[in-house]
Structure 1
């Protein structure tokens, strides 16, 4: 079996288009099988760069055997020249193609990808309702009033979730977005009081029989991260996510040494090399690699295995299209050190679910594992027909 061509798409997420443009690749073979993968730079800025990177990398694999995922991964990493420097764009491009190849491999062998990663460790996964400051299902935010934070958490809990995630630093009391500067350095007393009030009201009104993950989106630094981390300890938070930028693992270590709440990070850490320094310093206890930008399923499995050596648990970052969710579920089903799955607010919205054939949603706070061959998901015809951009690569380049 040989790779004959690679389609690259920038999808139209309609009402989410301003912040999300999923980059999807479809790898074709001479036996009629194809596989879909995603470059995990759909949100924020960078989607056009990821689109171009997938196109460039695709030239390196034309004519190769798609079953040789390890060989192809190393070719993409080394023959691209820039791959060995790391970074989100290169790793997202590698990830998209790698996931598509695993999808082909599963289809060719007639098994779900989790079987190829070692088999299932569980039949379903616990998941949490993520980013409630933006809303949940049909209750659209953002939120400002303390009572609104209580209500949206109560709404998620009523659907069977026993864990939620909220960034308490993004919006002021009038639900207006706050600049990152207000969450950096020595925090003002009004800002601390606002967050303390929100977290305290949730615990006072709804109790402690469910978990909270506090999201920071790297808006804080080592100083403010410690100050808010003390509130995490106070309100028995499950994990404290991205309390400092991941470019300096030492700062995560500083925060870890001053609070008791486990540190979570990983969506902006790439490859085993990127995670290694966090592990050896015990700077993160819940890793959150995005399978669509950490190096795909090939590298993602290695990251999770390395995490086990350092007693770290795993929650894949999921904030892209349903392709990214499917890839994450396949890996999370197969690893012993899984902790919890992220179900993002945006993943509940039709703008994203319509882009793929299957609309997998949790039931009572638990996600089933797709059991069809491959990753268990693929692009819908609607997504292809409405794509914002599309290119087809069918010429081989030997690389450097």
Structure 2
């Protein structure tokens, strides 16, 4: 089997849904001479980087032409050691490398008529508990920013009514008085130093409203997207300790492992992170210092399924559990489910509020959603997902042959 072409799709969802203007999934499809195709996703659907992800395939894809797609490890090593920048890492390079790796696994599964999880270890977890993620945007089909504590409580109740026993929220992301949603607004400068009393009060009141709304048994994950410095992260964690937080995600920038360790040493809430760490080398110090309780590798950023599985096994040595980071399109969801099904140290699956949005769902053929808060892995060969050609064709960017 040989690779014959690679198609790239630049899915600017804001054209049809302005509330998703900051979401821009980038997909690829790798085609072969046997008529088997595989799909992958670059993990830069949010933030700044999607345009670069579209472009990285112009550099990475040409060397795939003529390759046997079943030689996944060999191709991974070629990109890592033979491109110069592979050993340097970074989100742009690894988003492209990850998409390619996922697509290759999709092809391999289809070639051998098996779902990917069967090829990487089999079914360790027959069902996957999920949590409702990013409730500061609400929990329904319409995207919006929440400001009032009662709005946070309402979103929490909606998620619990849908069957989730675990929810996640960033209570500091929206701090102004304006109800106008601006996802690209700059974080408060004071977040990098020491929190003002009103900042702590705002976050605490939102979390408290959610806790009182859903009761003591529902797990609440605190997320702050690394917006805090070490001292402000410690301040916030200590302030909300009475609310029984499940774990504290990205309290500060994980690239400084000593800073991350300091937070872990000073608070009584387990820490998580990893969506901005790339390959095993990006996790090494966090794991060796045992400052992280839950790792969150993004299969579409960390190096694909090949590298994700290695990182999860590595984490198991240090008693760290795994919640694969999912904040993209349906391909990201499918890839994550296969990884989480196969590993012994899975803890919970992230189901982002964007996965409820029609313009995101329609990009692919199948709509995988949890039932009563639990996912089951796709059982079709490969990823168990396909592009919806009627929709995706309008996002076609280019093809490399």
**TM-score category (smaller protein):** over 0.9
Corresponding residue of 1:5: 5
1:327 aligns with 335
1:117 aligns with 2:125: no
Quick check: 1:349 aligned with 2:357? yes
Which residue of structure 2 aligns with residue 271 of structure 1? 279
1:392 is aligned to: 399
| Contact residue 20 and residue 143 of structure 2 kept, 8 A | no
1:69 is matched with which residue?
Answer: 72
Aligned-partner Cα distance in 2 for 1:99–1:358:
17
Contact 2:171 2:206 (8 Å CA) reproduced: yes
Alignment correspondent of 2:166: 163
User: In 2, are the aligned partners of 1:165 and 1:215 still within 8 Å (CA)?
Assistant: yes
Cα displacement string for residues 227-269 of structure 1 (whole angstroms, at most 9, x for unaligned residues): 1111342211111011111221111101000011111101100
Secondary structure of 1:386 counterpart = helix
Q: Distance in 2 between matches of 1:284 and 1:309?
A: 12
- Which runs of no fewer than 5 residues in structure 1 stay unpaired? 395-400
Aligned residue number for residue 144 of structure 1: 147
* TM-score scaled by length of structure 2: 0.95
Give the conservation status (yes or no) of the 8 Å contact 1:24–1:36. Answer: yes
Contact 2:293 2:319 in 1 (8 A): yes
How much has 1:200 moved relative to structure 2? Answer: 2.0
**TM-score, scaled relative to structure 1:** 0.95
Aligned length: 393
Q: Distance in 2 between matches of 1:150 and 1:139?
A: 17
Structural RMSD (CA): 1.4
8 Å Cα contact 2:98-2:304 kept in structure 1: yes
Corresponding residue number in structure 2 for 1:246: 254
Aligned to 1:85: 88
Does the Cα contact within 8 Å between 1:170 and 1:178 map onto a contact in 2?
no
Give 1:178 deviation, angstroms: 6.9
Pick from 375, 380, 386 the counterpart of residue 378 of structure 1.
Answer: 386
Which residue of 219, 237, 240 corresponds with 2:227? 219
CA displacement at 1:149 relative to structure 2? 1.0
Kept in 1, the 8 Å contact 2:363–2:391? The answer is yes
Alignment of 1:294-333 (within 5 A): 294-333=302-341
Q: Distance in 1 between matches of 2:165 and 2:380?
A: 28
Matches of 1:49 and 1:309 in 2, distance apart?
Answer: 35
Whole-angstrom distance in 1 between the partners of 2:390 and 2:253: 37
Do the aligned partners of residues 138 and 96 (structure 1) sit closer, same or farther apart at CA in structure 2, a change above 3 Å counting? closer
Aligned equivalents of 1:212, 1:147: Cα separation in 2: 16
> Does the 8 A contact of 1:214 with 1:232 survive in 2?
no
Deviation at 1:44, TM superposition (A): 1.2
Match of 2:33 in 1: 30
Select which of 156, 174, 188 maps to 1:180: 188
Q: Which residue of 2 aligns with 1:289?
A: 297
Note the C-alpha offset of 1:140.
4.3
Is 1:94 the counterpart of 2:102 in the alignment? no
